[in-house]
């Protein structure tokens, strides 16, 4: 497995592009991804009862062969009534006509403000405009990654090569995260392309397994969006023998997909709205995997802990408190808590006993950009990791006047 420079156009047979089409002011706001060959697709979608119109469209069509994806930022097409559903369908149809396929072979994703209907003139002319611009150069893939950003401060892309069945296959992805990111993926969009040949069934299985320890283990603010979507397209252009069984090729594919998704998920957590620090919380020695996930996620989701990390305050009691309300059952008297960073590490609680610690040393450790919180439960063999960010003035500022 090798991380290389690249983006969604790096796997064979994919085109992409992005441009400003007038959905939001002064910024790129539409991206297209096209597979020259109809691709197998799989998706994971928000579990929110309130699902945006494009999510409903994609759920209906995800089992079809897919030729393209239209993604826009600036407007989520969520809470938009019957008109929103029609708008998502019309958007798909517009790209379908350009490519020469049916609308059911097109997926649609939106992110941005909720409760306002899409400006369909801009969207439909935009699809034509961006379709005229798509290509397979590195720059085209970057344009697409830029066009899905909302309050993100950096583009998020990754590309990995791996040998599978004697062929070099490539997996690449782009994501947008920022606010509202939560377990079960809140306004997070992620698009993954690969030239691997893999059956739809196994593609779907690999995606759903990988999401559990990647996108479902990040939290920015605990809000779960109406629009969260992870899509993967596999077009088979690498010409490996199609993966149809859970054999060694499948395991290699799944590990590579996991690496792509973990890379993008951590980038989303790190670039949470207003964030200055990445928090990586690891629960170890837990009695089972599910409880380990609950504990790790609860800690990176705690406003109090997040604010303390922003303040560079070693308030480990807030970590233990968040472990306690995670829903996991454990004995706090056995817990050891360690805070660490590139600047050192410090044990704050040792098997249930609070340790009097050197505040200066703790402050130095917490001055780093990435803070690790290791929680040793000492009551089992399972572990899990979650990622989040600190809670800052800037988060409040961004979300106090997002629509304006």
The binding site for its own copies (CB under 8 A) comprises: 47-51, 76, 78-82, 113-117, 179-180, 182, 184, 186, 221-226, 301-304, 307-308, 310-311, 313, 315-318, 320-326, 328-330, 332-333, 348-349, 352-354, 391-393, 395-404
Cα 117 from Cα 84, distance rounded (Å): 6
Q: Tell me the backbone φ, ψ of residue 342, rounded to 5 degrees.
A: -60, -15
3-state secondary structure of 132: coil
- The residues with which 111 forms a beta bridge, in sequence order, are 75
187 given a catalytic annotation? yes
- What backbone torsions phi and psi does residue 103 show, to the nearest 5 degrees? -60, -25
311 alpha-carbon distance from chain centroid: 27
For residue 112, the minimal CB distance to its own copies (Å) is: 10
Closest to its own copies by CB, 326 or 372: 326
CA distance 277 to 293: 21
DSSP collapsed to 3 states, 4-70: CCCCCCCCCCEEEEEECCCCCCCCCCEEEEEEEEEEEEEEEECCCCCCCHHHHHHHHHCCCCEEEEE
For the bound state, the minimum distance from the C-beta of residue 33 to its own copies, rounded and expressed in Å, comes to: 26
Strand ranges inside 83-203, DSSP E? 106-110, 156-164, 167-176, 189-194
Question: Based on CB atoms, which residue is closest to its own copies, 66 or 186?
Answer: 186
Taking the least distance from each CB to its own copies, the nearer of 137 and 303 is 303
CB of 140 to its own copies, least distance (A): 32
Residue 402 CB, nearest distance to its own copies (Å)?
7
Cβ nearer to its own copies, comparing 5 with 401:
401
- Structure-token match 């006047």, residue found: 401
Task: Tell me the closest approach of the beta carbon of residue 185 to its own copies, in angstroms.
Answer: 11
Q: CB-wise, 54 or 179, nearer to its own copies?
A: 179
- Residue 255 structure tokens: 């590990």
Instruction: Give the shortest CB-289-to-its own copies separation in angstroms.
Output: 18
Least Cβ distance, residue 358 to its own copies (angstroms): 14
Nearest CA to 368 among 393, 394, 349, 342?
342
**Alpha carbon 101 to chain centroid distance?**
29
Which of 100/333 has CB closer to its own copies? 333
334/255 Cα distance (integer angstroms): 33
Please say whether the dihedral angle defined by the alpha carbons of residues 93, 99, 100 and 104, taken in this order, is positive or negative. negative
The answer to whether residues 153 and 389 touch, using CB atoms and an 8 Å cutoff, is no
Which one of 150, 187, 194, 256 is the catalytic residue? 187
Please report the sign of the dihedral spanned by the C-alpha atoms of residue 9, residue 14, residue 19, residue 23: negative
Cα torsion 183, 30, 159, 100: sign: positive
Closest to its own copies by CB, 5 vs 393, is: 393
Minimum gap (Å) between residue 209 Cβ and its own copies: 23
Query: Would strands 189-194 and 229-234 be described as parallel, antiparallel, or unpaired?
Result: parallel
Whose Cβ is closer to its own copies: residue 253's or residue 316's? 316
CA angle 344, 372, 356 (to 5 degrees): 60
Catalytic residue set: 187
């Amino acid at each position: 497995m090798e991380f290389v420079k690249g983006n969604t156009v790096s796997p064979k047979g994919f085109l992409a592009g992005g441009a400003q089409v007038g959905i939001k002011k002064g910024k790129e706001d539409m991206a297209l991804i096209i597979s020259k060959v109809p691709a197998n697709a799989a998706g994971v979608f928000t579990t929110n009862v309130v699902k945006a119109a494009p999510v409903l469209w994609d759920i209906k069509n995800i089992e079809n062969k897919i030729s393209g994806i239209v993604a826009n930022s600036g407007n989520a097409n969520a809470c938009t009534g019957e008109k929103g559903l029609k708008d998502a369908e019309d958007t798909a149809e517009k790209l379908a006509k350009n490519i020469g396929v049916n609308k059911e072979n097109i997926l649609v994703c939106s992110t941005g403000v909720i409760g306002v209907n899409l400006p369909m003139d801009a969207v439909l002319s935009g699809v034509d405009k961006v379709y005229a611009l798509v290509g397979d150069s590195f720059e085209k893939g970057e344009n697409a990654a830029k066009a899905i950003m909302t309050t993100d401060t950096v583009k998020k892309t990754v590309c990995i090569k791996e040998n599978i069945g004697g062929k070099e296959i490539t997996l690449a992805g782009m994501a947008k995260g920022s606010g509202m990111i939560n377990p079960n993926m809140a306004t997070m969009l992620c698009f993954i392309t690969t030239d691997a040949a893999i059956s739809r069934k196994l593609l779907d299985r690999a995606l759903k397994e990988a999401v559990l320890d990647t996108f479902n283990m990040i939290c920015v603010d605990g809000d779960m969006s109406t629009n969260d979507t992870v899509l993967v397209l596999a077009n088979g252009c690498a010409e490996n023998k199609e993966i149809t069984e859970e054999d060694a090729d499948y395991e290699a594919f799944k590990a590579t997909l996991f690496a792509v998704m973990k890379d993008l998920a951590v980038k989303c957590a790190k670039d949470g709205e207003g964030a200055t620090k990445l928090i990586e919380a690891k629960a170890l020695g837990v009695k089972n995997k599910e409880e380990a996930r609950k504990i790790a996620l609860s800690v990176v989701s705690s406003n109090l802990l997040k604010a303390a990390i922003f303040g560079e305050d070693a308030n480990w009691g807030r970590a233990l408190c968040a472990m306690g309300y995670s829903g996991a059952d454990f004995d706090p008297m056995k817990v050891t808590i360690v805070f660490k960073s590139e600047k050192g590490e410090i044990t704050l609680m040792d098997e249930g006993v609070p340790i009097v610690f050197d505040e200066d040393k703790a402050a130095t450790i917490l001055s780093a950009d990435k803070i690790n919180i290791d929680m040793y439960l000492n009551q089992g063999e399972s572990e899990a990791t979650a990622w989040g960010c600190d809670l800052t003035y800037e988060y409040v500022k961004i979300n106090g006047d997002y629509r304006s």
